[in-house]
Structure 1
């Protein structure tokens, strides 16, 4: 793995820093999938389907995604 820096707003940065390591790991997996698929030149629907399948294969559930995307502080 390699590190990159992505700018986010202060609230998002703070929420990430305060998240437990398991949640941070899930966020890493989610972002890696989305970035990988975004830079690939495929139709959006195909990218979304592949990202969904890969996320499920890596243990992502609708509940986990909702938890990541919600504002639980």
Structure 2
């Protein structure tokens, strides 16, 4: 993996910096999947399948993803 810098709203940056390392890792996985989709020329279904397999191999579960998407903090 490589690091990049992306501008976000100040409150997002603050919330990310203050998040637990485990939550930061989950956010990074989610953003990696979304960015891959955004820049790829592959069909969406192929990207989703690859992202799903990568997320599963990194320990992502449907429950973890749901908790990330539903987290109000």
Residue 47 of structure 1, CA deviation? 1.1
Does the 8 Å CA contact 2:36/2:47 hold for their aligned counterparts? no
Query: What corresponds to 1:2 in structure 2?
Result: 2
Q: Which runs of 5+ in 1 are unaligned?
A: none
Query: What corresponds to 1:14 in structure 2?
Result: 14
Residue 25 of structure 1, CA deviation? 1.4
Question: Scaled by the length of structure 1, what TM-score is found?
Answer: 0.74
Q: How many residues align?
A: 73
Question: Scaled by the length of structure 2, what TM-score is found?
Answer: 0.74
**Moved beyond 4 Å, runs of 4+:** none
Query: What corresponds to 1:26 in structure 2?
Result: 26
CA RMSD of aligned residues (A): 1.9
Once the two structures are superposed, residues 16-46 of structure 1 have per-residue CA deviations (whole angstroms, 9 ceiling, x without a partner) of: 1121011111222222233234322111122
